[in-house]
Structure 1
Amino acid sequence: MIHTSAEVHEASALPCARVVHTAPDAPKTAELEPLPQSVAAQPIEEKSPAQWAYERLILYIKNFEAQLDNEHEVAMGFTGGDAGVLRIEGIGYFDPDIVTFYGRDDDGGRNQLIQHVSQLNVMLRALPKAPEVEEPRRIGFRLAADLDRN
């Protein structure tokens, strides 16, 4: 197949992603979803590692939340240690290479994780929503909406 230079350029700007599951009816994953226009509009090579990691984290969190019932919220488990979990209340990035997570632990204490993109490990977990909260908080959908505004 012969490609035009425009097609080659466009293909080079698209990320490569793939996923395989044991179950044929596994839920849709972020890798299989098309990139939102707000993410795809800027070529990858123009993004810092922090921005690109931030945008993809949003897609993973939004997809994870879409599969939760109304009794659960997304949280982040820490790898390598007994730090517990962080109920994700916000995510940010600081170019060129820092991603930060804001939230609360199981006791309601405020937490902030500041991580270099080369050390990024995020385990998304479903935790029961706080009893005093009527509706579960969905940070992924707010983050995705913010991407679309920018």
Structure 2
Amino acid sequence: MNETDQIQTTAEAVEAAAMPHARVVHSDPNAPQSPEQKPLPAALCRKPVSQKGPAEWAYERLVLYIKNFEEQLDAEHEIAMGFTGSSTGALRIEGMGFFDPDIVTFYGSDDSGTKTQLIQHVSQLNVMLRALPKQAPEREAMRIGFKLVDELESNTET
């Protein structure tokens, strides 16, 4: 009997279907772990993926990618989002949200400090994370990813 011939209980089949699948390969064997390699935080497992709207599920995974990216930044850089396929520059990520079933929003400012917001349909989601020097060298680097994870963990209704 091989793996595909194994018999599953109904509970095992439902659990397997609800679990997200991820995979990543890095060329550098010493590369830091990425979100695909880390276990999902308990807060993201409270509600089965099958019960989440596309925007909620995209938002939660973006939170993990943002936090992971920030964990690798030095104290002189903050996270920003580059616009792929565009020359409009970058948006310094200062907030993020979703509006189910299909909208994800990013709040922040551009390179010149102008208030900026990106509203994106999940089917068009394409985010490039960038490290930009802090706008105010005298203050501590802003870490939105850690705030986003804290919010997910403290929110009992996801």
TM-score band by shorter chain is over 0.9
Find the aligned partners of 1:146 and 1:15 in 2 and give their Cα distance.
21
Equivalent residue runs for 1:1-150 within 5 Å: 1-150=6-155
Aligned pairs, number: 150
Find the aligned partners of 1:2 and 1:32 in 2 and give their Cα distance.
27
Q: CA RMSD in A?
A: 1.0
Structure 1 segments, 4+ long, off by >4 Å, are: none
Q: Percent identity?
A: 63
* Aligned AA (2:18): A
* Aligned AA (1:41): R
Q: TM-score, normalised by structure 1?
A: 0.96
Of 6-15 and 42-51, the range deviating more from structure 2: 6-15
CA contact (8 A) 2:76 2:137 kept: no
Report the CA distance between 1:4 and its aligned residue.
2.5
Relative to structure 1, the CA distance from residue 133 to residue 139 in structure 2 (aligned partners, 3 Å threshold; closer, same or farther) is farther
User: Which residues of structure 1 form unaligned runs of 5+?
Assistant: none
Find the aligned partners of 1:11 and 1:133 in 2 and give their Cα distance.
49
SS for the counterpart of 2:12 is helix
Report the CA distance between 1:131 and its aligned residue.
2.7
Find the aligned partners of 2:112 and 2:122 in 1 and give their Cα distance.
28
Q: Deviations over 1:97-126 (max 9, x none)?
A: 000000001100000000000000000001
Find the aligned partners of 1:113 and 1:12 in 2 and give their Cα distance.
32
Find the aligned partners of 2:85 and 2:138 in 1 and give their Cα distance.
30
* Aligned AA (1:83): T
Report the CA distance between 1:69 and its aligned residue.
0.8
Find the aligned partners of 2:124 and 2:138 in 1 and give their Cα distance.
33
User: Which residues of structure 2 form unaligned runs of 5+?
Assistant: 1-5
Find the aligned partners of 1:131 and 1:41 in 2 and give their Cα distance.
38
Report the CA distance between 1:137 and its aligned residue.
0.3
Larger radius of gyration: 2
Relative to structure 1, the CA distance from residue 110 to residue 14 in structure 2 (aligned partners, 3 Å threshold; closer, same or farther) is same
Report the CA distance between 1:133 and its aligned residue.
4.5
Report the CA distance between 1:3 and its aligned residue.
2.9
Report the CA distance between 1:5 and its aligned residue.
2.1
Find the aligned partners of 2:137 and 2:69 in 1 and give their Cα distance.
23
